[in-house]
Structure 1
Amino acid sequence: MNEEFSRPVAGHVPVLRLGDILLVTLQGDLYDSAAQQLQQDLSETIAGSRVKGVVIDISGVEVVDSFLGRVLAEIAAQAELLAARTVVAGMRPAVAITLVELGLTLPGLRTALTTEAAMELLAQPIVPSRSGGLHRGSP
């Protein structure tokens, strides 16, 4: 498996490349400026490297506010436009409850219980359905 590490820079979230998937692990609070920088970094990396998926592990995040929820949804939308899928892994029950209470549905964002499950989800092919939409194919 091809692995590349980004160099951690103050205010930046490291992005790990595992083959054709980017792995981002969020730890603790993610301040607004760091969240916006992550969004920009991921878009540039996806466009420049032609990865097929992004896994964002939020198991280390205690609280997701409406801003971070919106940033996650925007990352997923931008990745989709750049032909990559996004999966958020490790969401705590309290975070899921908060997102529902805030009314954030996070369209286009897939979720998985673990990072491993997210990687498996991205490994599944996307095939056109009869109705013209897309769905996951069986491995």
Structure 2
Amino acid sequence: MQLFIGGACAGKRDVVTARFPDAVWYRLAPEQRLDACQQTLLADTPLVITGVLEWLEAASGSMQNDAFREQWQRDMTCLYQRASQINAPLIIIAHEVGCGIVPMQPEQRRLRDLNGWFVQDATRQADQVWYVRHGLVQLIK
């Protein structure tokens, strides 16, 4: 698995498109579990997962932090294992939102916490992590 992280409009999509021109793109939908992506996996075809921040925002209201995190950790492990079995490179594009001003609204602070935990969990599973800023790509893991 590879994780591409960076701020909004940093060039993540362009970098991933250039590196994986034959990839299937999958946008996470609200109220959907992460492992629903498995239905899109194709043998020997990269799968790019986007929409993580919006997915976290939509799904976060229905569960407590720990339960929600445990669920996506299990789903991420299953998805990664299935992708490995069929030689389908898995790519996740995530937003970096932790470097800005801390919002006053509790739900916005929670969203930033959830996003940070998600990226940490994805980083642990990832073989490579890339940071994209201004279209420049740096391997950080």
Q: TM-score, normalised on structure 2?
A: 0.45
Structure with a larger share of its residues in helix: 2
